[in-house]
Amino acid sequence: MTSSPPRVRPLPQAAHQVAARLLALVDEPGTAGVPYRIDWADPVDLPLADERSVQAACGLMEVHGRAAGRPTPLAVDYAATVAGVLAAQGVCAVLLGRLAGGDPARVRTSVSRAALFSVTQYLAAATATGDGTEQECGRKRRSAEHGGHRAFVTADGVAFELEALDAERWLGFWQRLGASRTALRDGWTPFQQRFATATCPLPQELHRLVGGLPYATISAAAARSGADVLPVRQDPAPGETPRPWTLGPVGGGTAGPGHGTAWAGPGGKHAGGGATWAKGGITRAGDGIARAGGGPAGAGPLPLAGVRVVESTRRVQGPLAGHVLRLLGAEVVRVEPPGGDPMRGMPPLAGACSARFRALNDGKTVVEADITTAAGRRTVRELTGDADVFLHNWAPGKAARFRLDAEDLCAGRPRLVHAWASGWGDLLGPAPPVGTDFLVQAHSGLAAAVRPAHETPVPSLMTLTDVLGGLVCAQAVLAALLVRARTGRAVRVDSSLLSAASVVPRPRTRAHWGPWDRPLATADGHLWLADAARRLPDRVADVIGADAATCADALATRMSEATTAEWTARFARAGLTAVPVCTDLARLATDPRFEAAVERGGADPGAAPGTADRNPAGPGTVNPERPGPSTAASSTAAPGAAAPGAAERGSGSPGSNGYVRPVTPWEFL
């Protein structure tokens, strides 16, 4: 009898490599004195010990594969990359917590926590109890019926990605190419909502149309209509390799990268960091990081307690950065236009607000201000007058045009961290294409990297760079707060979707997949055979039969003869790990194996939602239950009785528990 192999789980090397790279850029030797740990599964109660198993169990395969109608792996270590960023954030947060008088000792995260965090919005939408859930299910079915998401390919063989952020540009682009009114009508809604649904069942007429035209014609139509098109890079290696972020003093210059070491606990090579950190050394009044003392390890305030962040952001990248800072303990004040962010009305709803919106914005205080007016800009300046961080993801040049750039705001707050989360940074010149997730995936090579070699490169409709962009921006803000603590000066922070995409480790060539590199369809679902099991082909053959182990058709037939649970048990009896693939995020939320990994979203436990502690622009209306506009395209609804530029409310709904979210992705011990 063959003995079972030892159950030794390898370290998530990709996650540690990403964390090491980011901590080297922080330029704080003290980071080497903060131990951190990255697990595979914790707190998910499943035997997860490799990237693809985590993707299978935690919903990444489900979301990425929606457009194709079947769960599909990402061909890069995406969950491990997110885990590495989370670990670096945790290390920096520990240092900031110590500086403020607390005593956090170390931080812990996991690849499974990272995977669940990356599908936060999709999990919220799948578990929302309000209007719109059934419509989303219908979109998933239609996506499969239309053949899934595929690249636009021109007559001269150029695969390209299209972006049109409003209906006027969409219509202008396709009308110039000769599309029918029916195709324009049927295509706009799934195209507009693909960021939220991860599906895009476009009429086949549109693909046939561009297939008969050269790319030069396509590009000219985009230029005349205000849409944007970019060729999809065929090489998985990034065309540019920008640093994940840059820090610089306000008024010019750029801080160079550091040379920190990632995993060196007390007594390690750089234990203590070689830096002199005064206990409570930044507790001066007005610094925004002041707090008294600290309780026992793991029981005291969160590391960023006392930090005040003002954000003026939209969509995913910017709100997610603010969400991360809030989860670390910061107070976040969100500036929204009069009537509220249009995304509040996007279905499905959780209570009176979009579940997706709430997933990234619950717990933030909201001030409505029209920054196109002098009064609105004055509100922003007053809000940042005692803030630690101002965060925005406006279009290039907008901050300078409104005189809300770093030099402008730091004149009134000389220690402000001014962070811009852009699409492209400055690498594509002063007038780049619109900086959205899918265009960045196309241009950066990530679209090629996430799919196997036999498929035409096309961006994943899971918002990979939006999530990473928000995480990298938050990490850059943490690094800037450490620089400010050392220098006492304001810091300018620049990060982008493109720079975040470069954080993902890439293969030199695109992956070549066989039948075992996709989830196996069972009688009632899908199953993923773990990496360790696939390294024992003889034992796998004993379970499924020798014919099925060598023939893809026989494998498909054999797997369909039993349920996922039955196959999981058979593999387990042979000492092999097989992971059930999550094909419905709503079911994941009620799976007892995920009980410690997710929680019901509702009122922020740290504050009374809807309670305003200040309102610099004058008295406003506090109304946390107030819904957003009825559709995502509407942004003109009047804010009830709110004073223009001054309505303030909490983002959460105190009585609503209408969606599920992942637990906080770090443990501070």
Closest CA to 106 of 31, 12, 46, 177: 31
- Backbone CA torsion sign across 417, 421, 424, 428: negative
Q: pLDDT (tens digit, 9 = 90+) per residue, 171-204?
A: 999 999 999 999 999 999 999 999 999 999 999 9
Predicted local confidence at residue 635, as pLDDT: 30
3-state secondary structure of 245: strand
Predicted local confidence at residue 414, as pLDDT: 92
- Comparing 75-89, 288-302, 648-662, the range with the smallest average pLDDT is 288-302
Indicate whether 251 pLDDT > 80: no
* pLDDT (mean) for 575-590: 94
Predicted local confidence at residue 548, as pLDDT: 83
Predicted local confidence at residue 613, as pLDDT: 36
Indicate whether 280 pLDDT > 90: no
* pLDDT (mean) for 29-57: 95
Torsion of CA 296, 300, 302, 304, to 10 degrees: -100
Indicate whether 516 pLDDT > 60: yes
pLDDT band, residue 254 (cuts 50/70/90): very low
Token couple for 39: 């697990």
Predicted local confidence at residue 29, as pLDDT: 87
Predicted local confidence at residue 551, as pLDDT: 86
Pair 117, 51: CB distance under 8 Å = no
Query: Who wins on pLDDT, 570 or 630?
Result: 570
β-bridge mates for residue 159, sequence order: 153
Q: Where are the alpha helices (DSSP H) in 385-436?
A: 398-401, 406-412
pLDDT band, residue 629 (cuts 50/70/90): very low
- Comparing 139-143, 148-152, 428-432, the range with the smallest average pLDDT is 139-143
pLDDT band, residue 261 (cuts 50/70/90): very low
Predicted local confidence at residue 369, as pLDDT: 95
φ, ψ (nearest 5 deg) of residue 245: -155, 165
User: Which residues have a catalytic role annotated?
Assistant: 466
How many CB atoms within 10 Å of residue 212?
11
* pLDDT (mean) for 308-312: 97
Closest CA to 316 of 187, 441, 183, 421: 421
Indicate whether 343 pLDDT > 50: yes
Closest CA to 501 of 438, 452, 419, 584: 438
> If 0-12 CB within 10 Å is exposed, 13-18 middle and 19+ buried, where does residue 429 land?
exposed
Predicted local confidence at residue 585, as pLDDT: 95
* pLDDT (mean) for 438-466: 95
DSSP at 202: -
Rounded to whole angstroms, how far apart are CA atoms 220 and 463?
27
* pLDDT (mean) for 68-84: 96
φ, ψ (nearest 5 deg) of residue 255: -70, 130
Collect all residues with Cβ–Cβ distance below 8 Å to 24 and sequence separation of at least 6.
257, 258, 259, 260, 261, 262
* pLDDT (mean) for 107-135: 87
Indicate whether 383 pLDDT > 80: yes
Indicate whether 620 pLDDT > 70: no
Rounded to whole angstroms, how far apart are CA atoms 31 and 27?
9
φ, ψ (nearest 5 deg) of residue 404: -125, 25
- Backbone CA torsion sign across 14, 16, 19, 23: negative
Rounded to whole angstroms, how far apart are CA atoms 110 and 99?
26
- Comparing 112-126, 248-262, 372-386, the range with the smallest average pLDDT is 248-262
Q: pLDDT (tens digit, 9 = 90+) per residue, 363-376?
A: 999 999 999 999 99
Predicted local confidence at residue 8, as pLDDT: 52
DSSP at 118: H
Predicted local confidence at residue 547, as pLDDT: 86
CA atoms within 13 A on the CB side of 496: 25
Pair 124, 355: CB distance under 8 Å = yes
Residue linked to tokens 């990237």: 51
Rounded to whole angstroms, how far apart are CA atoms 432 and 424?
7
Predicted local confidence at residue 552, as pLDDT: 86
Highest mean pLDDT among 32-46, 297-311, 421-435, 623-637: 32-46
Indicate whether 358 pLDDT > 70: yes
SS3 for 454-496 is CCCCCCCCCCHHHHHHHHHHHHHHHHHHHHHHHHCCCEEEEEE
Rounded to whole angstroms, how far apart are CA atoms 452 and 247?
36
Collect all residues with Cβ–Cβ distance below 8 Å to 553 and sequence separation of at least 6.
none
User: Inter-axis angle of helices 204-211 and 167-177, to 10 degrees?
Assistant: 50
H or E stretch at 305: none
3-state secondary structure of 342: helix
> If 0-12 CB within 10 Å is exposed, 13-18 middle and 19+ buried, where does residue 521 land?
middle
* pLDDT (mean) for 4-11: 57
Highest mean pLDDT among 6-20, 93-107, 316-330: 316-330
3-state secondary structure of 312: strand
What percentage of the chain reaches a pLDDT higher than 70?
A: 80
Instruction: Note the residue count of the chain.
Output: 669
Q: pLDDT (tens digit, 9 = 90+) per residue, 541-580?
A: 999 998 888 888 899 999 999 999 999 999 999 999 999 9
Predicted local confidence at residue 240, as pLDDT: 72
Predicted local confidence at residue 624, as pLDDT: 33
Segments of 362-435 assigned E as strands: 365-368, 389-392, 417-422
Query: Who wins on pLDDT, 299 or 36?
Result: 36
Token couple for 101: 């008088």
Q: pLDDT (tens digit, 9 = 90+) per residue, 390-411?
A: 999 999 999 999 999 999 999 9
DSSP at 300: S
Pair 348, 130: CB distance under 8 Å = yes
Rounded to whole angstroms, how far apart are CA atoms 533 and 585?
26
Token couple for 611: 């309670």
Query: Who wins on pLDDT, 554 or 286?
Result: 554
Pair 184, 175: CB distance under 8 Å = yes
Predicted local confidence at residue 388, as pLDDT: 97
Indicate whether 137 pLDDT > 70: no
* pLDDT (mean) for 648-665: 65
- Backbone CA torsion sign across 182, 186, 189, 194: negative
β-bridge mates for residue 279, sequence order: none
Token couple for 494: 């620049």
**Cis (ω within 30 of 0) for the bond into 43?**
yes
